[in-house]
Amino acid sequence: VLSYRDTEANASPISSKLVTKLKAAPHSLSEVVLHDLSAQELTEFVTDTLALASERSAELSDLLLRKSGGNPYFVGQIMKDWADNSLLTPDTTHGWIWNKDAIEKRAMATSVLDLLSGKINSLSEKNREIITIASSFSGPFSANEMMELASCDIDSARTATSEAVGAGLLFMDDELLYS
């Protein structure tokens, strides 16, 4: 699986050459183009995700569009940030409520890269080391593998990976493998 932004692939000669070679290869190649969400698509996403009436979703969707530019990954991360900071909260009467003024005033990263950098920088030094090691794996890995590479005990490896999972920087599957 190769993931890249078509607007950035040409910025690097190596990326450009790799994409060109893959497209010219004799095997089957599937491309999935992920575009920015339109206002309508974003409203539908918020309506479905939060199980709200579309009329209620419109205000939140507008805020998300202004903050994210419609970038699907950024939309999810912003919603998680708002929920983590109690700006978007579940409510037994309305389903979800949000603080529009606080959301508008909240300083946000201006790009996905800034957002991820901020998350990584908020981790302890040991956990930043864990993330660096994790980025070198080409597929899923176990806490035992992490323990060996990070030169730490299994409890430290699990604690560090748990913090990274909580921050959305690592993902854990049902078999306790990280990716």
pLDDT of residue 137: 74
**Predicted pLDDT of residue 12:** 60
Q: Look at 15 and 152; give whichever has higher pLDDT.
A: 152
Q: At 49, is the pLDDT very low, low, confident or very high (cuts 50, 70, 90)?
A: very high
Instruction: Report the predicted TM-score, pTM, of the whole model to 2 decimal places.
Output: 0.62
DSSP assignment of 109-174 = -SSHHHHHHHHHHTS-HHHHHHHHHHTT-SS-B-HHHHHHHHT--HHHHHHHHHHHHHTTSS-B-T
Least reliable range by pLDDT among 9-18, 95-104, 113-122, 133-142: 9-18
Q: Is residue 36 scored above 70 in pLDDT?
A: yes
The strand pairing partners of 178, in sequence order, are 141, 172
**Closest by alpha carbon to 82, among 49, 39, 124, 40?**
49
Mean pLDDT, the chain, integer: 81
